[in-house]
Amino acid sequence: MGKAWKHFKTITVHKLLVAQGCFRIGLYKQGILHDLSKYTPAEFRVGVKYYQGTRSPNNAEREDIGYSSAWLHHKGRNRHHYEYWIDYSMHAAPGSMIPVPMPPRYLAEMVMDRIAASKVYKGSAYTDAAPLEYYLQGKGKVPIHPRTARTLEHILRMLAEEGEEKTFCYIRKRILKKRTHGRQARFWGSRIEYSK
């Protein structure tokens, strides 16, 4: 089997797993549209060239040329990556960049993305703890807003300790709930804040 077909299969299986997860939590449109940019020439060609099947081809491209052109293309088009949510600060030093909180629906899609990626690359060795283990390897080294980081870690710990069914129910009922008693609910960290 050629590398192009293997890469196509890998990204398509990943996309289908994310869609299944998104559908389970009520994010139908995001499940369908997830990662469509991976099929564009800017990302697909790099994926084929650096395909290994056991990890993201973007890491191999970084090792080869010092950065990943596919990743730079991808993160600017997909809101489920925390790297998308970086902006210039109006309060810190002029010109400095800061992470901003991710909206709950994109944070939820990011969780589904991490679960699917772990399932694809770990295969039969996957456990519900794998997404948390991967997250903890890079914790503290990434430009993610503290509220987003707390919520993400809380969800990944729940997944590791209590499984998908309870975690997905929690995401549906607590993270993605649109209205609570006539007030807009926003979930940040381990509590819900309300605004009228």
Q: Is the pLDDT of residue 104 over 80?
A: yes
Q: Answer with the residue of higher pLDDT: 9 or 187.
A: 9
- pLDDT per residue over 52-61, tens digit each? 988 899 999 9
Q: Which of 107, 116, 108, 121 is nearest to 169 (CA)?
A: 108
Distances 45 to 4, 6, 40 between C-alpha atoms, Å? 8, 12, 8
What is the distance, to the nearest Å, from the Cα of residue 195 to the centroid of all Cα atoms in its chain? 27
DSSP state of 174: I
Q: How many CB atoms lie within 10 A of CB 172?
A: 15
Task: In whole angstroms, give the CA distance from residue 100 to residue 152.
Answer: 14
Mean pLDDT of 148-164: 97
> Which residues does residue 193 pair with via DSSP β-bridges, in sequence order?
186
pLDDT of residue 63: 96
Query: Which amino acid, residue 185?
Result: A
Q: Nearest-5° angle of CA 14, CA 142, CA 62?
A: 60
Question: Pick the residue with more confidence: 109 or 89?
Answer: 109
Q: What is the DSSP letter of 171?
A: I
Residues 105-121 pLDDT 10s? 999 999 999 999 999 99
Confidence band (pLDDT; 50, 70, 90) for 192? very low
Mean pLDDT of 148-177: 97
Quote the pLDDT of residue 153. Answer: 97
What phi, psi does 108 have (nearest 5°)? -65, -40
Q: How far apart are CA 31 and CA 35, in angstroms?
A: 9
Mean pLDDT of 66-75: 96
The answer to whether the beta carbons of residues 58 and 44 sit under 8 Å apart is no
Stated pTM of the model = 0.86
Instruction: Tokens for 169, please give them.
Output: 């129910």
Which pLDDT score is estimated for 196?
A: 34
Side chain identity, residue 29: K
pLDDT at 193: 43
Q: Average pLDDT of the chain? A: 90
R_g of the chain, CA atoms, integer Å: 17
